Amino acid sequence: MSIVTVQLGQCGNQIGYEVFNAICNDFHSTHGLCSKKENESYQEACKERFFSEEKTGVPVARAVLVDMEPKVISQTLSMAARSGHWKYDHQSHFCQKQGSGNNWANGYSVHGPRYRDVIMNLVQKEAEKCDRLSGFFTVMSMAGGTGSGMGAFVTQCLRDVFPTSFILNQVIWPYGTGEVIVQNYNSVLTLSHLYQSSDALLVHENDAIHKICAQLMNIKKISFRDVNQVIAHQLGSVFQPTYSSEGASQYSRSPLGDLMESLVPHPEFKMLGLRNIPQMSENSLAYSTFTWPGLIKHLRQMLIANAKMEEGINWQVRPPLPGHPVPPKASPNKALHFNTSIANLVVLRGKDVQSVDVGGFRDPALYTSWLNPQEAFNVWKTPRAFNKYEKSASLVSNSQFLLKLMDNIVGKAWNMFASKAYVHQYTKFGIEEEDFLDCFTTLEQVIASYASL
Amino acid sequence: MTQSVVVQVGQCGNQIGCRFWDLVLREHAAVNKKGIYDEALSSFFRNVDTRNGGDGADIHKGKIFSLKARALLIDMEEGVVNEILQGPLRDVFDSKQLITDVSGSGNNWAVGHKLYGYQYREHIVEKLRSTAEHCDCLQCFFVIHSMGGGTGSGLGTFVLNVLEDEFPEVYRFVTSVYPSGEDDVITSPYNSVLAMKELNEHADCVLPIENESLFSIVSKIHQMTNSGKLGSTVKQNSLLTSSAGSIKTEQEKPFDAMNNIVANLLLNLTSSARFEGSLNMDLNEISMNLVPFPRLHYLVSSLTPLYTLADVNVPSRRLDQMFSDAFSKDHQLIQADPKHSLYLACALLVRGNVQVSDLRRNIERLKPSLHFVSWNQEGWKTGLCSVPPVGHSHSLLALANNTCVKPTFTELKDRFMKLYKKKAHLHHYLHVDGMEQSCFSEAISSLSDLIEEYNQLDATKSAPRTYPSRLKIAM
């Protein structure tokens, strides 16, 4: 089954390109470390999922590119074409001339409705190219105007037009210290609206990825391209083909469905975080070896302690012991705050993957009490190595990972809203103060729900 | 891609405008080696086939035939505009883009605004419409003028009104040159305050400029290039004040160096809209992020570096120096010290070989020494454009919405009151049809209100921070 990607705004298009590029590079990789038959199976599944065939034989990404100004899309299309290994369908894009001016209201209330039909036509066309549609994957930032505002509107339209398909929104959480001054408003508006129409929101934080580039990848002068490539690697490590159950003989046909089923048992809880280890520069790869027990142990502690990368993990944090009362969350020593999960998914790729012991993730102490720990945890595997990493482990988690982030961003937005600064820029395009209040209410609800786990 | 139209009014406006068109051609020539009319060029130029004489049809793609500036030149005396039309830029403008008269406005805002405004309104609207019709997607009008005289100040602000009436959806960015204390035009305070009211009400963003600041920057550059302190030679065409490499070949005029700085300001402001980059910053984004309340739209600008040394490898330290300089009071284009006042918002538009990590490192470094208003503690807007300006490997434009503009306005108000109390020269104004005493009182009132808004914000600087309590949710 296939996934149709919708790339929205500058960020969405820049990242979308890196994702397809990473997937395509992995597809062609000769470091698969598995049998020829396995590799062919993998490639088959990968192709069906992300690319359609064209007469020229060059795989065409299953994607729709949307932006309100032309420069980025034009660059993206030409970079893909130049690679020689894959390309976009040059009909499958929509752009305008003026951009959304970082204004969520402009993206949502003006551009969205105005261009709804054209864009949904493009999406329909891509959907029809698929033998079977697994669902939609949208890529967007929250800070700007198009990705955020128009992205929220398009997600709503996708929900209306494809009520039975899965929708996963990949959202980019902006740097804490501004890229855009009104980023907190735009983010609050985006999150609250996506919550109504999306099945799940998968979050990547610029600050966290930046640190990974600096400390793990050893990049001196970090560009957005570097950041986007790390994000693409992380996404690829989850969405490339896997066997999603023990003893499965075929690669999973329904990645988005499997993801939702594993991770989103309740519509109030849709925020997903992603961690991937190991992560390092290509030069260092050749000199490093990892063991599965080591990787699993680190990944588990990253989950428990809410660490963003494999360096600097706080090993003091422990899950509460059975029978003992859970320590108060607002404890003075915030560093020992334990990250409670609803559900977790671990994806393992590479050598000796069959022998991995993931028992540590089945510990009931990690989870809230609603789900049977057997149901709360899933693992997907493939012996086929990903992107030159001999062993790679990813964690997609529906937990309190994003609680602090959400609380911060709502706090800052609320602080600005109290002074009414910039609100006139939004009311100009039809988003009134009451709309803001509704969004704040929705998010405070989500925050309270996650905090009470 | 969007288009912008430049409306240059009065002597100062046209002289700056002239430098702008010269330097923008130089910039595009450096980037566009193949002579193809591309999207970037279309931002400020039309491509016209004039082979068969007259004003040919617009050509949208392919080779460049003849570039015509998207501009309107307005002056109530002919000297400056005539000079432009006889100079090396004559082919870039055509007669249809001019509105001139003979006798000037006598340094009288009322003559410029009420008399000539009324007289030329139809004309102005017609010419604006025709430039707008040549635009696929017109995004912004750039008005360039001075505040202290009669034409730029009076007629310039009249045109601003017309722009709002006729093209309400198009942004209005105004570059205004404010008079200094020792201005030789006695009535410049009257003209400036009367113009301020119009700017308060009808402009989206105003970039105030003061000649004293431009002059200090020119002196500084002069000093550095002539003192031999630099060791290696300075690249001539990198000077912020230089016309080197542009069409203009004759002797530089006295104001040219200063006007080049303002021209460079406009080039940098529009660079991300014209050229690609990893984080684009369009003009509508500038207005969105830097104007938290409609009337507080005065942006203090600074440009760095002022020049480049000829050696190619610029170590990181020099890059960081560029960021530090942008916040120093010596690099601001008005006499102001943003570091010691309160920031409402700040934008950094970086051009050239600079990446997001450089940007972040410098923001982290400089943030602690800057005061931001309580509701916008992380109020930074950033943009990365890949194409550097001519002669540089990188450059930075900082735009600050900062209470440091207040002294400029209070001084203006004081100078105004000094004259107004004695009713000095008032009769020259009241003579003009449509001009009344109430115009003066409304104007000074508008300025006072603006100053008061800044005062209130400044007061919050020392007040203890209180966080508004969040919404409580019943579980």
Is there a single domain that holds both residue B446 and residue B399? no
Is there a single domain that holds both residue B31 and residue B158? yes
Residue B240 domain-assigned (yes or no): no
- Residue A195's pLDDT is 96
Residue B342 domain-assigned (yes or no): yes
Where do we find the tokens 């923008």?
Answer: B24
| φ, ψ at A350 (rounded to 5°) | 125, -155
Question: What 8-state DSSP symbol labels residue A212?
Answer: I
Residue of B nearest to A74 (CA): B276
Which of A10, A222, A410 is closest, CB to CB, to B357? A222
Cβ atoms B435, B114 nearer than 8 A: yes
> Nearest C-alpha of chain A: how many angstroms from B29?
20
Residue A409 CB contacts under 8 Å (≥ 6 apart), including other chains? A173, A184, A187, A188
Which of B136, B382, B467 is closest, CB to CB, to A97? B136
Q: What is the pTM of this model?
A: 0.92
CB contact under 8 A, B294 and A99: no
Could you check whether the bond before residue A163 is cis, i.e. omega within 30 degrees of 0? Answer: no
Is there a single domain that holds both residue B32 and residue B120? yes
- Residue B36's pLDDT is 87
Cβ atoms A235, A16 nearer than 8 A: no
Cα(B129)–Cα(B131) distance, integer angstroms: 6
Is there a single domain that holds both residue B60 and residue B144? yes
Each residue of A226-269: pLDDT tens digit?
A: 999 999 999 999 999 999 887 788 888 889 999 999 999 999 99
Cβ atoms B312, B393 nearer than 8 A: yes
CB contact under 8 A, B377 and A102: no
Residue B248 domain-assigned (yes or no): no
Each residue of B88-138: pLDDT tens digit?
A: 888 899 788 899 998 889 999 999 999 999 999 999 999 999 999 999 899
- Residue A317's pLDDT is 87
Is there a single domain that holds both residue B429 and residue B390? no
Residue B465 domain-assigned (yes or no): no
> pLDDT class for B181, splitting at 50, 70, 90?
confident
- Residue B240's pLDDT is 79
CB contact under 8 A, B382 and A179: yes
Cα(B69)–Cα(B44) distance, integer angstroms: 6
Domains within chain A, CATH numbers bracketed: 2-276 (3.40.50.1440), 297-399 (3.30.1330), 404-452 (no CATH)
Domain hosting B84: range is: 3-227+255-407
Each residue of B188-198: pLDDT tens digit?
A: 999 999 999 99
> Nearest C-alpha of chain B: how many angstroms from A80?
16
Q: How far is CA A50 from CA A127, A239, B5, in A?
A: 12, 10, 44
Which of A10, A100, A452 is closest, CB to CB, to B475? A452
Q: What is the interface size between A and B, counted as CB pairs within 8 Å?
A: 140
Cα(B140)–Cα(B5) distance, integer angstroms: 7
Average pLDDT in the A430-449 region?
Answer: 95
Is there a single domain that holds both residue B394 and residue B412? no
Is there a single domain that holds both residue B358 and residue B443? no
- Residue B391's pLDDT is 84
Average pLDDT in the A35-56 region?
Answer: 90
Cα Rg for chain A, rounded, in angstroms? 21
Q: What is the CATH number of the domain that holds B131?
A: 3.40.50.1440
> Nearest C-alpha of chain A: how many angstroms from B321?
17
Is there a single domain that holds both residue B399 and residue B421? no
A387: left (phi over 0), alpha (psi -120 to 50) or beta: left
Last residue of a domain, one of B363, B381, B407: B407
Cα(B160)–Cα(B172) distance, integer angstroms: 8
CB contact under 8 A, A418 and B468: yes
Average pLDDT in the A394-403 region?
Answer: 94
Q: Which of A335, A332, A326, A264 is nearest to A452 (CA)?
A: A326
ipTM value of the model? 0.88
Is there a single domain that holds both residue B376 and residue B421? no
CB contact under 8 A, A224 and B279: yes
Identity of the amino acid at A262: S
Each residue of A303-351: pLDDT tens digit?
A: 999 999 988 898 888 887 766 655 555 544 444 578 999 999 999 999 8
Q: Which tokens go with A29?
A: 């990789």
Q: Return the minimum-mean-pLDDT range out of A175-189, A385-399, B240-254.
A: B240-254
Strands (E), B14-130: 45-48, 66-69, 71-75, 98-100
Which of B2, B356, B378 is closest, CB to CB, to A176? B378
Is there a single domain that holds both residue B259 and residue B153? yes
Q: Which helix (H) or strand (E) holds A296?
A: helix A292-305
Which of A177, A414, A444 is closest, CB to CB, to B380? A177
Beta-bridge partner residues of A5: A63, A137
Q: Which of residues 237 through 276 in chain B touch A, CB cutoff 8 A?
A: 276
Q: Return the minimum-mean-pLDDT range out of A85-94, A135-144, B51-60.
A: B51-60
- Residue A319's pLDDT is 83
Is there a single domain that holds both residue B65 and residue B169? yes
Q: Touching check for B475 and chain A: CB below 8 Å?
A: yes
Residue B473 domain-assigned (yes or no): no
* Number of domains into which chain B is organized: 2
Q: What is the CATH number of the domain that holds B455?
A: 1.10.287
Residues in A closer than 8 angstroms to B289, CB to CB, are: 102, 180-182
Is there a single domain that holds both residue B53 and residue B126? yes
Residue B219 CB contacts under 8 Å (≥ 6 apart), including other chains? none
Cα(A125)–Cα(A110) distance, integer angstroms: 24
Where do we find the tokens 């602090």?
Answer: A404
Residues in A closer than 8 angstroms to B470, CB to CB, are: 410-411, 414, 444
Q: Which of residues 276 through 295 in chain B touch A, CB cutoff 8 A?
A: 276, 278-280, 282, 284-285, 287-294
Q: Which tokens go with A435?
A: 């709309």
Each residue of B262-308: pLDDT tens digit?
A: 999 999 999 998 998 989 899 999 999 999 999 999 999 999 988 76
